Chain A
Amino acid sequence: MSPRTNAPIPLSEPPVDNPAPSSDAAEDEPRPGRARKPVGWSVITIGVLVAVSATLVWRRDGLAGVLDILTHDLGLFGGILPRVLAGCLLGAFISEILPHDRVSRSLGPESGLKGLLIGSAFGAILPGGPFTAYPVASALLAVGADFGATISMVVSWTLVGYGRAVAWELPIMGADFTLWRIMISLPLPVLAGAFGRFVYVRMYPKRGDE
């Protein structure tokens, strides 16, 4: 099924999550490597935090305070939704169209510094917010990128990517701070990816083959 015959031993786990058994019964052919989980502890943690915080706001500011925040955040949510859809589609398309063997060659465990640089460049130019970056990163993992290159991509998106910098950081923090922050951040994605690989092959030595 997977055209991975000539690929080196992939650091990224192949079909990672055995597709979450129960909750996804509706779906006949789950794509390998995508996180598919039912509502888990992460959602519960945040839910509890939100509930506690909302109660505190209510006791402090009354119902008006609660509604104030609610309307504001509902507006934000409405604005983000189409972008979330775009990100999901982008991730799905990319995982279908990227040739697995080519990805594992240029972003896989054997890709060296070049793979980290490609991952970093990709993260830096990727449009959108978390709703794009994480689905796309997940797609890369699924088609043969290793942890190192994917780390470079995610870190580059978050630190060097222009999306958040232009939309939020520039207006709030000012141009001087933002530009210096990005300059200082430039080497970090490659360093983080290299460090990630360094740790990975020592944590999972049976798979590492340098």
Chain B
Amino acid sequence: MSAALLIDLILWGSVAAVGFIAYRKGPMVMTTSLREGGVDFIRIVPRIALGVIGSGYIAAVIPQEVITGWLGPDSGWLGVATAVVAGAATPGGPVVGFSIGAVALKAGGGPPQVLAYVIAWALFAFQRLLLWEIPFMPARFVWFRAAVSIPFPFVAAAIAMAIHKP
């Protein structure tokens, strides 16, 4: 897991860097930030516990074949639309969405449809909206962002169809 280690290093390195800048602006700025970050952390942990520990159960009862069966190469724009809905409805962490995408590809799913699925899931999977985005951000922004994101899996699928990739 060297990639994960690298990402952790970058992450904590960034924290140290902005922490140092805050310290240069005054020790008060740093302690205030530390306290506010800590309070945010404590407040957010229960939700994350629920989400991370619970998503395994949600993923375990989702019938993957149903999702992958809809994404065939001949399914065209209807398949893309289905993929967008399926992406939004897919629960669970990164493993689940990508795994379903990989299964769909292996099972003969059309690449534009799978692409639309992965992008829709990345943009507005409902569980991520509820568990991650809403707790951290103003709800009005979250819904607005999700709504204006809706066209973009279709845009991506159109590009993929045009260039015949991936």
Question: Which residues of A lie under 8 Å from residue B107 when comparing CB positions?
Answer: none
- Chain B residues whose CB sits within 8 angstroms of the CB of A137 once the complex forms: 136-137
Q: Count the A-B residue pairs with Cβ separation under 8 angstroms: how many?
A: 257
- Chain A residue at minimal CB-CB distance from B43: A36
Q: Mark B136-147, 1 if CB is under 8 A from A, else 0.
A: 111111001101
| A139-192 contacts to B (CB < 8 Å) | 141, 147, 150-151, 154-155, 158-159, 163-164, 166-169, 172-174, 176-177, 179-181, 183-185, 188, 191-192
Within 8 A of A (CB), among B117-152: 118-119, 122-123, 127-128, 130-141, 144-145, 147-149, 151-152
**B1-56: which have CB < 8 Å to A?**
3-4, 7-8, 10-12, 14-15, 18-19, 21-22, 25, 29-30, 32-34, 36-41, 43-56
Q: How many residues of A contact B (CB 8 A)?
A: 92
Do the beta carbons of B136 and A35 come within 8 Å of each other? yes
- Pairwise interchain contact B166-A176, C-beta atoms closer than 8 A: yes
B29 to chain A minimum Cβ distance, whole angstroms, is 5
Interface contact B136-A134, CB-CB below 8 Å: yes
Query: Which residue in chain A gives the minimum CB-CB distance to B47?
Result: A43
- A77 and B48 form a contact (CB under 8 A): yes
Instruction: State which residues 64-91 of B face A: CB under 8 Å.
Output: 91
Tell me the bound Cα distance from A33 to B140 in angstroms. 12
B100: nearest chain-A partner, CB-CB: A172
A141 touches B50 (CB 8 A): no
Given contacts A46-B54, A83-B11, contact A172 B49 (CB under 8 A): no
Residues of chain B with a CB closer than 8 A to A192's CB = 148-149, 152
Residues of A within 8 A of B95 (CB): 168, 172
A102 lies within 8 A of chain B by Cβ: no
A85 CB–B CB distance under 8 Å: yes
Q: A40 vs B134: C-alpha distance in the bound complex, in angstroms? A: 10
Closest-CB distance, A180 to chain B (whole angstroms) = 4
Task: Provide the bound-state CA to CA distance between A173 and B57, in Å.
Answer: 23
Chain A positions 34-87 with a Cβ under 8 Å from a chain B Cβ: 34-37, 39-40, 42-43, 45-47, 49-50, 53-54, 56-57, 60, 65-66, 69-70, 72-74, 76-77, 80-87
Instruction: Give the contacts of A1-26 with B (CB-CB under 8 A).
Output: 13, 16-17
- 25 A-B interface contacts by CB (under 8 A): A31-B36, A35-B137, A46-B131, A47-B50, A56-B61, A70-B56, A77-B52, A86-B15, A88-B38, A89-B38, A93-B19, A96-B33, A97-B25, A97-B29, A130-B132, A134-B133, A159-B123, A166-B3, A168-B95, A172-B98, A177-B114, A179-B166, A181-B119, A192-B149, A195-B148
Top 6 closest A-B pairs, CB basis? A50-B54, A92-B37, A180-B166, A134-B136, A53-B57, A89-B37
Residues of B within 8 A of A (CB): 3-4, 7-8, 10-12, 14-15, 18-19, 21-22, 25, 29-30, 32-34, 36-41, 43-58, 60-61, 91, 93-95, 98-99, 101-102, 105, 111, 114-115, 118-119, 122-123, 127-128, 130-141, 144-145, 147-149, 151-152, 155-156, 159-160, 163, 165-166
Which residues of A does B touch, CB under 8 Å? 13, 16-17, 27, 31, 33-37, 39-40, 42-43, 45-47, 49-50, 53-54, 56-57, 60, 65-66, 69-70, 72-74, 76-77, 80-97, 127-128, 130-132, 134-135, 137-138, 141, 147, 150-151, 154-155, 158-159, 163-164, 166-169, 172-174, 176-177, 179-181, 183-185, 188, 191-192, 195-196, 199-200
